[in-house]
Chains A and B, each alone.
Chain A
Amino acid sequence: MLVRLAQTYPRLGDIEYNFEQCLESIRSAAGDGADLIVFPELALTGYLLKDMVSLTGLRDDDPKITELIDLSRDISILIGLVEHGRDHFHYNSAFYLEDGRLAGRHRKGHLPTYGMFDEGRYFAPGNRVRAFDTSFGRAGVMICEDAWHPVNPYILSQDGAELLFVISNSPVRGMRESGRFQSVENWQRITSSYALLYSNFVFYVNRAGCEDGISFSGSSHVLDPQGELTAELPFLEAAEATVNIDLDELSRARIGSPVLRDEKFLTSLNELKRIKKESFGD
Chain B
Amino acid sequence: MNSNESKKNLLAINCPEVLQVLSTFIRTEVHKTGFEKVVLGLSGGIDSSLSAALAVEALGAGNVMGVMMPYHSSNPDSLEDAKVLAGKLGIGCRTVEITPMVDPYFETCPEISNMRRGNVMARQRMIVLYDVSAETDALVLGTSNKTEYLLGYSTLWGDSACALNPLGDLYKTQVWELARYLELPERIVSKKPSADLWAGQTDEEELGFTYEQADEALEQLIDCRIKPEQLSARGFDGDFINRIMRMVRQTQYKRHLPLIAKLSNRTINRDFRFPRDWGI
A residues sitting closer than 8 Å to B (CB atoms) are 9, 11-13, 48-52, 172, 175-181, 209-213, 215, 235-237
Contacts and interface: CB of A to CB of B under 8 A. Distances in A.
Contacts of B111: none
A210 B24 contact: yes
A215 B272 CA distance: 24
A21 to B, nearest CB: 14
B168 to A, nearest CB: 8
Closest 8 CB pairs of A and B: A177-B12, A50-B273, A48-B275, A210-B28, A175-B13, A12-B277, A212-B275, A51-B273
A124 to B, nearest CB: 17
B18 A175 contact: yes
A11 B28 CA distance: 11
A212 B17 CA distance: 19
Contacts, number: 61
Interface of chain B: mostly helix, strand, loop or mixed:
helix
Contacts of A210: 24-25, 28-29, 32
**Most chain A CB inside 10 Å of its own CB: which residue of B25, B272, B275:** B275
B9 A215 contact: no
B151 to A, nearest CB: 20
Given A9-B28, A51-B273, A211-B277, 15 more contacts: A12-B277, A50-B274, A50-B275, A52-B278, A172-B21, A175-B17, A176-B12, A177-B13, A177-B14, A178-B14, A180-B14, A209-B28, A215-B21, A215-B24, A235-B17
B20 interface: yes
Interface of chain A: mostly helix, strand, loop or mixed:
loop
**Most chain B CB inside 10 Å of its own CB: which residue of A48, A211, A213:** A213
A236 B164 CA distance: 19
A51 B29 CA distance: 21
Contacts of B274: 50-52
A48 B277 CA distance: 9
B267 to A, nearest CB: 12
A175 B18 CA distance: 8
Nearest to A237: B24
